[in-house]
Homo-oligomer: A and B are copies of this chain.
Amino acid sequence: MSEPQSIPNPPRRRAISKRALETRLNILDAAERLFAERGFDGASVRDIASAAGAQIASISFHHGGKEALFERVVERRASQLSQMRLDALAAVKTGGAEPALEAVLAAFLRPYLEKAASDPQWLAYARLVAMVSADARWHEISERCFDPTAGAFIAEIARLFPDADQTAIAVAFVFSVAAMLSLSTSKWRIEALSAASGNPADMNRLSDDLVRFCEAGMRAAINR
């Protein structure tokens, strides 16, 4: 993924210098931040290069242009997050008894929530995903990066509740993902709307609230 023209068994290829790898990584991180803040069209490769301390030309050189860079930014974290989620799902299923609905939903939601609570780059990534999901231009990315994992979780829930309507489960799952993403895009709004209470919206509490909310909503869909 990080070597454009890599070959399964390259006969002879010079190692990439440490500095070049840093440049690539700095560009990816800066792009993630700026794309998340301003959107694909609002973030220019000039600003990204500048924020990364790199040359404008290095973006085309290392990543093959703006669009390819955007896809790499999304793919990098998506594959990591998918792995964490599927691992958590597998762990939940190793116990002898049937897993509880809450455990399955938590296996999907918690890996992201834990990352987002500790690393601002993951928060930026979620804003990016919200953009990707909302923009028809990036549907292909969604299908490739997100839908397989989402499908696995929906199938598992359907297996736990054989009598439930599968479409209703998928609908509730999409609602749950939307609620999850709103934590990164609308945290400011939660704080504004609950100003009276005074609490400054602690991330751990928000995470628990999200899992409770989604589980209750999913149960309502299953018992439809």
Contacts and interface: CB of A to CB of B under 8 A. Distances in A.
A176 to B, nearest CB: 8
Contacts of A38: 41, 135, 137
Contacts of A206: 171
A193 B41 contact: no
A197 B218 CA distance: 17
Interface of A: 37-42, 127, 130-131, 133-137, 139, 142-143, 147, 150-151, 154, 165-175, 177-179, 181-182, 185-186, 188-190, 192-194, 196-197, 199, 201, 206, 209-210, 212-221, 224
Contact of A40 (B42, B170, B177, B210): B42
> Which residue, A133, A178, A185, has most C-beta atoms of chain B within 10 A?
A178
21 contacts: A133-B182, A133-B185, A143-B192, A147-B192, A167-B197, A167-B199, A170-B194, A171-B201, A173-B193, A174-B190, A175-B182, A175-B213, A177-B182, A177-B186, A178-B178, A179-B179, A209-B224, A212-B221, A213-B218, A216-B217, A217-B217
A77 to B, nearest CB: 17
Nearest to A142: B189
